[in-house]
Amino acid sequence: NLSTVSEFVFVGLSDAPETRLLLFVLFLLIYLATMAGNIALLVAIGTDSHLHSPMYFFLSNLSLLDLLCPTITVPKMLGALLLEHKEISFSGCLFQHFSLIAVVGTEIFLLTVMAYDRYVAVCHPLRYPSIVSPKLCAQLAGGTWAAGLLNSLLHTSMVFTLSFCGPNKLQQYYCDVPPVLALSCSSTRSRELVILAVAGVLGSSACVVTVVSYIYILLEILSRNSPGMWHKAFSTCGSHLTVVCLFYGTTICTYVRPSFTYSPHRDRVVSMLYGMLTPLLNPIIYSLRNKEVKCALRSVISRV
């Protein structure tokens, strides 16, 4: 009710027709490859009985999030590149913003849960089935989705209850927090502080749990002093650790900073890393180091 802006306009990635066509083909191929990789991983986990374990249950949730993340933003971006339809309604921008923040927040919490799962698998292998039970898996997965939705609800309410009465050109290819805040004609300082504080507390808590889990894993490996233990631990945790570093690095660079450091050109590149490349690379990373997943994927491909 406070807004006089009925729609936003994306600035886009390029104004040159030949460059737009090239970018359209490139991003369409990346999007299709992301969809194919994550859907194949979901089908492999669902159809192979050897993959019906807590680790792969959480991995299937990660693949689902990696399907949702680019689907929220990429189709609109492709339409802007091909058809030059760069407008999005105020309500459409709100929904896109809410959905994206919910997916990103859920993925942060899910990666934390997966770190705890790896800690139990390495440090308490004999008690692993009893500790990480199906009931606990369902509760942890449901908790990550609920926390992501609540976090997104808070962020979206803080941003879209501001006044928007002037410029409506978003310096981004989707409705993200920094470019939307930059268009508000009311004071955003207090809300920025709240958003940074909430994101800082939740992000720091998730990061601390992840780091502590891997510290315990490292201490367990050192205490056993077994050459084969290093290889086993790396095969168990290497994929997750790679995904965590990739996701946290790009997400922190985008969100955990004040708005005066916002740079449209740099942020468009960074947001593509976590919005498009990370969902593409996650199934590849988990497949390369995992023989069970590779066998299941071969089975799926042969059936197709």
pTM (two decimals): 0.86
**pLDDT value at residue 250:** 67
Residue 36: count other Cβ atoms within 10 Å of its Cβ.
12
Contacts of 66 (CB under 8 A, 6+ apart): 34, 38, 278, 279, 282, 283
Assess whether pLDDT exceeds 60 at residue 257. no
Statement: residue 246 has pLDDT above 70: yes
Name all domains of the chain by residue range, CATH numbers in brackets: 7-303 (1.20.1070.10)
Q: How would you write 110-150 as a 3-class SS string?
A: HHHHHHHHHHHHHHCCCCHHHHCCHHHHHHHHHHHHHHHHH
- Total Cβ atoms within 10 A of residue 123: 17
The neighbouring-strand residues paired with 7 are 89
Please state, in angstroms and rounded to a whole number, the distance separating the CA atoms of residues 144 and 302.
34
For the chain, what percent of residues have pLDDT higher than 90? 25
Question: Does the structure show a pLDDT above 70 at 236?
Answer: no
Q: Cα separations (Å) of 137 from 51, 71, 78, 149, 272? A: 14, 26, 37, 19, 31
Mean pLDDT throughout 11-17?
69
Whole-number mean pLDDT of the chain? 83
Residue 3, pLDDT > 70, answer: no
Higher-scoring residue by pLDDT: 171, 125: 125
Instruction: Examine the pLDDT at 119 and tell me if it is beyond 70.
Output: yes
